Amino acid sequence: MATAIILRKHGKPNVLTLENIDLEKPKKNEILIRQTAIGVHFHDVYVRSGLYKTLALPGIPGVEAVGVIEEVGDDVQELKIGDRIVYITGGYGAYASHRLLDQNLAIKLPEFVSDELMATNFSRALTVKMLLEKVTKLTSDNSILVTAATGGVGKLLCQAANSIGAMVIGSVSSYEKVEIAKKYGCKHSFVYDHDQFVEKIFDLTNGKGVDFVFDSVGMTTINNSIESLSFCGHLVNFGQSSGAIQPIEMSVLAKKSLTITRPILFHYLTNLKIYKDMSNSVFNLFKEGHLNTPETFSIELQNAEKAHEMIESRRGGGSIYLKP
């Protein structure tokens, strides 16, 4: 019997409950997976709390996991029983011991990456690829500000940008995280609500401001993020961990000819070739040692509530995964 976390109403972590589920035989283009490691991210928190109303209730949350194929549909050609795969999907359903999945969403894993590494970092590394290569075209001439620089995506983003040669400035939520941010690729890092935060950004950039801001925090950082930009600068908002951003007046952007993008990773992965190419590129980043990640640790699927509590308290370090 398969089990899954069912979300029946939005609310605090205790609305996540484990239930038995029935699974049908795979359709012609589907595979049946026994999941071994399930990613837990702020996106899941947004869905559970109701900030993102993108999962029909009742439903199974979770967007990515690693697993082993146990059964394949009649039309599945490139995958076989026993293959180890990773996937990301905007259709949810990852918080489960077993699941059915469209074969096109499954990416076969190379031996040199572990289940735990991919469950905690696959979508994050894909997000970094999207931000630096699709949404922007970052070069060594650029300066950037990354909010939540010690978060799951933040750590990878700062390292990747630093390897390109860009000047990376990170904002963090506490003074304890300032040095951690520097360890993961930030040349400079500051607490985001410091009185002189924006002034420091301009001092470091010779009065210019940064070319790009990558903001995943939202409500509490958005004003500083906009003020830190140079003329013709670009703000990329890819998360709202502190709450929804209020409407921004166009006149605010017009002061310095600023632009804003709100990318969603799933939209960039609708093209199957791009999805596979970006996935292989992510595998190579880890193989070549360009990205260092924190130690991973697991929480039993039935205790998903605890995982969400840790994520929201910022105690997870971007390394939690659920183990069925």
Asked if residue 151 lies in contact with residue 216, where contact means CB atoms within 8 angstroms, the answer is yes
Separation between Cα atoms, residue 63 and residue 88, nearest integer Å = 5
Residue 111 domain flag: yes
In a domain, residue 169? The reply is yes
Task: Examine the domain organization and report whether 28 and 104 are in the same domain.
Answer: yes
- Do 256 and 150 reside in the same domain of the chain? yes
Based on the fold, state whether residues 174 and 91 are members of the same structural domain. Answer: no
Same domain, 240 and 144: yes
Same domain as 118, residue 55: yes
User: What does the pLDDT profile of the chain (324 residues) look like in tens digits?
Assistant: 899 999 999 999 999 999 999 999 999 999 999 999 999 988 899 899 998 899 999 999 999 999 999 999 999 999 999 999 999 999 999 999 999 999 999 999 999 999 999 999 999 999 999 999 999 999 999 999 999 999 889 999 999 999 999 999 999 988 889 999 999 999 999 888 776 889 999 999 999 999 999 999 888 789 999 999 999 999 999 988 777 788 999 999 999 999 999 999 999 999 999 999 999 999 998 898 878 888 888 999 999 999 999 988 865 455 899 999
Q: Give the C-alpha separation, 88 to 243, whole Å.
A: 24
What are the tens digits of pLDDT across the range 204-263?
Answer: 999 999 999 999 988 878 999 999 999 999 999 998 877 778 899 999 999 999 999 999
What is the pLDDT, as a whole number, of residue 102? 97
**Structural domain boundaries enclosing 201:** 140-262
Q: Are residues 161 and 187 in the same domain?
A: yes
How do beta strands 84-88 and 107-108 pair? antiparallel
**Bridge partners for 210 per DSSP:** 229
- The answer to whether residues 94 and 200 belong to one domain is no
Q: Provide long-range contacts, Cβ within 8 A and 24+ apart, for 187-195.
A: 187/162, 189/149, 192/147, 192/217, 192/220, 192/221, 192/224, 193/220
Number of domains in the chain: 2
Tokens at residue 227, please? Answer: 């003020």
Asked whether residue 198 falls in the same domain as residue 155, the answer is yes
The answer to whether residue 132 is domain-embedded is no
**What pTM value is reported for the model?**
0.90
7 in the Ramachandran plot: left (φ > 0), alpha (ψ -120 to 50) or beta? beta
pLDDT at 316: 46
Q: Is 134 a member of any domain?
A: no
Does residue 129 belong to any structural domain of this protein?
no
Please give the Cα distance from 34 to 70 (Å, whole number): 7
CATH number of the domain at 174, please. 3.40.50.720
CB within 8 Å of 314: residues ≥ 6 apart: 173
Tell me the CATH number at 115. Answer: 3.90.180.10
Q: How many CB atoms lie within 10 A of CB 45?
A: 19
CA pair distance 314, 49, nearest whole angstrom: 16
- Tokens read off for 16: 């996540």
User: Distance (Å, rounded) from C-alpha 289 to C-alpha 266?
Assistant: 26
Which tens digit of pLDDT belongs to each residue from 310-320? 988 865 455 89
Classify residue 74: in a domain, yes or no: yes
Same domain? For 40 and 103 the reply is yes
Q: Token pair 């650029």 is at which residue?
A: 142
Buried b (16+ CB within 10 A) or exposed e, 251-271: eebeeeebebeebebbebbee
**133 in a structural domain:** no
**Bridge pairing between strands 98-102 and 84-88:** unpaired
